Amino acid sequence: MAKFESIVDLKGTIQGMTFYKTKDGTLVRKKGGVDKKRIMTDPAFVRTRENGMEFGHNAKMAQLVRRALANYLGLAKDSKVSSRLSKTMNDVKNMDGQSKRGERKVWVGLESEAGKNALKGFDFNLRSPFASVFRATYSLDTSTGVMTIPDLIPLLHLGVPQGATHVGLCVGVSNVDFTQGTFATEYGTETRLPLTEDSSALVLEPNGIPTGDGFVLYFCLVCYYQELNGDFYTLKNNAFNSLVLLEVL
């Protein structure tokens, strides 16, 4: 792989050399690899085809979860959340002990406790993992989606970023049917508190429990704000916010 510098902006393949843009500039490499038709038909590449089918399945299932949590995901995510969630879905898919190689499914893997545990606790923003941000004791009622925090002292129990004056907490529940590619999500109303040493007993609840035949995902969002003259501003484009999957049923 070589770096290409020229007054001419090139992109694509010219005489067997492929030019493509990256954050480091325009790079060039020799065109190569196995012909796609051969990969799709040659028995020697059967494992490649199987891996490719499952890779596509994992990516599709990860995209479905991201869509289901879209309202909160826009407030707390890192640049690699798509690839990280696809990798986690691959771990879940590996728990499918019934299907043939190349045909293993995420929803079969989720039938097992190991599959659920592989997805449970997923952090959508690794810049601000939930375990490092939120250190208070809480309980989750999976029949109602209610998260109860009996004693929250913001300055003691939260990882407070510099410049933050307030924190917002809310929960949500999503019913995701991976077999049909559908979902229904209920979000909760945010509870916003000043970042002080005062203790609060909080009850966070979604606006309802979505119905459906899928798996139920429970999640919690923590947002940080800076108050200025009565207005609230997010910190560094939500870089410090945290979003986590609390439970999978």
Distance CA 148, CA 206 (A): 12
Domains located in the chain, CATH noted: 1-32 (no CATH), 43-119 (no CATH), 130-248 (2.60.40)
Report the pLDDT value the prediction gives residue 4, as an integer from 0 to 100: 41
Q: Per the structure block, which two tokens stand in for 134?
A: 């939120």
Q: Which residues of the chain are under the pLDDT cut of 50?
A: 1-4, 7, 38-42, 44-46
- DSSP, res 236: G
Cβ-contact 38, 11 below 8 angstroms: no
Q: Residue 151: in which H helix or E strand, if any?
A: strand 146-152
Cβ-contact 102, 49 below 8 angstroms: yes
Instruction: Kindly list the distances between the CA atom of residue 243 and the CA atoms of 1, 75, 135, in Å, as whole numbers in the listed order.
Output: 38, 8, 14
Q: Per the structure block, which two tokens stand in for 180?
A: 């049909």
Report the pLDDT value the prediction gives residue 207, as an integer from 0 to 100: 96
